[in-house]
A and B are shown apart, each in its own frame.
Chain A
Amino acid sequence: MSCDAMLLVDALREPATTRALDANDWTALIAMARAEQLIGTLAERLKSESVPPKVAEILAEARINADYQRRSALWEAECAARALSDYPGKVVLMKGTAYVAADLKAGEGRHIGDLDVLVAREDLPQVEALLLSKGGWEWVKEDAYDDAYYRDHMHELPPLIHKERDRMIDVHHTILPLTARPSPDAAGMLANAQLIDSNLTVRAEPVEARNRSESRPSTSSARTETLCVLSPTDMVIHCTAHMIADGDLAGGLRNLWDFHCLTTQFAESDPDFWPQLSARAARHQLLPAVQCAARLSLRLYGTTIPQTWGRKKLADAYFVRRLTARDGWGRPTRKVTRLAFYIRSHWLRMPPLMLARHLWTKWRKG
């Protein structure tokens, strides 16, 4: 049988491929899907497939859990909006929370961990103060070096964790570390960010609370003017930046599935989507990354992409090797490939001399 996560990729791309699976294949598929945090997505994809009874139970359970994640993600967004009700600027939801808040296909069954938001860089002190004083969040890291490193060089504040709910919030002011070579236009992203329909977040509240807020609109109206999501092109570009231009491709299959769902859905409703994406990606200095993601998405998930983008590049095979490095027990495989991408992620993140200094400091601190 298949010895890597192509089994999972095939099931997501074409659910009918699962009809040929035997008990061992199913066992492997489920372990891989859980390890890649794609079990909820798989459950959505296989909704109308006939599967063995045990698998049906496992997938039904994954749907219950995905509902829970959706509910808690929207609730976290709601709590952040309440804490920031006095902040006049845009608060842009990103990644999983944005996908479920905007009711996008990419959000169906998706695993959602931290809350990621984007605000204007000059407003960071105000946003940070409100989250700490009104929202009940607190610092995770007490380490002075790490704290200073985040503030001087990263695209986000050091992570905050909520005192009672134990959930993290990452407050971004742009989408890539300041030390990375491309410098995306964060102000442009904020300017184009779109308000979301407040009903989506209110839906997570009980009916009585909803009725109350209708008669006393003070809290909900503040909220509707703050919470936004990125424009379609920027949303795809952020998904790409996160996957190709920053990290070590951990969670890559999930990020690539986001890319596939987002581009497919946006291109269906707007025939000019791809040219717009191309222009916008160029403006953010991320066109090569977006094209790489598109080729990988075509290769693995069968995404329809512009023909001129679809020419295979030699390096793509290494990405595929890294993305599918998972065995039937859900264990990570291909140590050398993984290490290479880990080194690459640091290389992309900062210039060599700075990297050396950073690693030296980290190493001395143990």
Chain B
Amino acid sequence: MHEFSAQVGPAAFRIGSQWRSPVDQLAALYADYPKPEIPDFSVRLEAVSMLRRFIRPSVMIEGDYMLPDAAPLPLAQALLAAEMGMNLQMALGWRRHLLLHASAVEKDGKALIMTGASGSGKSTLSALLGQSGWRFMGDEFVLLDLESGAAVPFPRLISLKNEAIAAMEAQADAARFGPLMEGTPKGNIRHLMPPVDAIARMAEPAKPALLLFPRYGHNWAVRDVAPGETFMRMTQASTNYVALGEAGFTAMTRFIKTTPARAIDYQSGAEAVSLAEGLWEQLA
């Protein structure tokens, strides 16, 4: 088993792979991250069968927490498999914070949190803001501290999909990109290392100050979101809200009561950035 490990925010991962190439790719992309002594989670990239380790190699995502019917990926997409495996551990196993499926950036100790379905643009938006004066906190999960309510960063690799790839290639250092993976189940995917300061400051939490529900592909619009709707949407956006019981309810309601929320529709990245910054001036 080839082995790799890295710490992302409060969570540490160990990846074991039957092939060498995914581990080399991970080591390059996670070069700026600390190495843990004891990982929180183990992820394994295993061949579907002995034969398929060599002939048309096919990767199964296994680990401490698994989905029973996850489809295997070709070896060329092993990096995606590793990332999916790590996300899965968080989604199914993490109980130390209230976990929100959201992206976040920080300014002056305050966090702008963005959530929405896949394709809403929350990941791209956090990456764009992270290149323009904000600290990138994460593009997939925001962790809310159960005691203080603070947003804890989880700045894993930024997972760029389809048209977001070109948009970010124009903005970020070419040396910080992973390989382009074409034709994955989610379309084209290319990973981007978060800015150096985002990784160096990944233990620094921020106070939630604004919650946005971005939606890509619609005409410019801003809409108030009432606390009741926010509550329904956020409980759906959390994978461990129910498991945390009363502590989860307390953290969720405090977050919603203290954080103003807006839904924004936009047609381009630039439009979304100016919308977000305008609302931030006004509300945060």
A interface residues, Cβ below 8 angstroms from B: 23, 26-27, 30-31, 34-35, 52, 54-55, 57-58, 60-61, 64-65, 67-68, 71, 329-331
A34, A52, A61, A68: the one contacting B38 at CB < 8 Å is A52
Distance in angstroms from A175 CB to nearest chain B CB is: 26
Say whether B183 faces chain A, with CB atoms less than 8 Å apart: no
B1, B14, B36, B44: the one contacting A54 at CB < 8 Å is B36
Given contacts A35-B64, A57-B96, A331-B44, contact A27 B14 (CB under 8 A): yes
**A68, B244: Cβ atoms closer than 8 Å:** yes
Interface size class of B (residues with CB under 8 A): 20 to 34
* Shortest 10 CB-CB contacts between residues of A and residues of B: A68-B243, A34-B64, A54-B38, A64-B95, A61-B95, A23-B37, A31-B42, A23-B38, A26-B38, A65-B95
**A61, B37: Cβ atoms closer than 8 Å:** no
- Residue in A58, A65, A329 with the greatest tally of chain B CB atoms within 10 Å: A329
For residues 17 through 41 of chain B, which have their beta carbon under 8 Å from a beta carbon of chain A?
A: 36-40
Give CA–CA (A55, B94) in the complex, Å: 14
**A329, B1: Cβ atoms closer than 8 Å:** yes
Distance in angstroms from B252 CB to nearest chain A CB is: 15
Distance in angstroms from B182 CB to nearest chain A CB is: 31
| Chain A at the B interface: SS class | helix
Give CA–CA (A58, B94) in the complex, Å: 9
B42 surroundings in chain A (CB, below 8 A) = 27, 31, 329-330
Say whether B245 faces chain A, with CB atoms less than 8 Å apart: yes
Identify the closest chain B residue to A33 (Cβ): B64
A23, A52, A54, A71: the one contacting B40 at CB < 8 Å is A54
**A55, B38: Cβ atoms closer than 8 Å:** yes
A65 surroundings in chain B (CB, below 8 A) = 95, 243
Say whether B16 faces chain A, with CB atoms less than 8 Å apart: yes
| Other A-B pairs, 16, CB within 8 Å; known A55-B38, A68-B242, A330-B64 | A23-B37, A26-B38, A27-B38, A27-B42, A34-B65, A35-B64, A52-B38, A61-B95, A64-B243, A64-B244, A67-B245, A68-B243, A71-B245, A329-B42, A330-B63, A331-B62
Distance in angstroms from B191 CB to nearest chain A CB is: 24
Distance in angstroms from B132 CB to nearest chain A CB is: 35
Give CA–CA (A65, B1) in the complex, Å: 30
B38 surroundings in chain A (CB, below 8 A) = 23, 26-27, 30, 52, 54-55
B63 surroundings in chain A (CB, below 8 A) = 330
- Residue in B12, B42, B63, B245 with the greatest tally of chain A CB atoms within 10 Å: B42
Give CA–CA (A34, B62) in the complex, Å: 13
**A61, B94: Cβ atoms closer than 8 Å:** yes
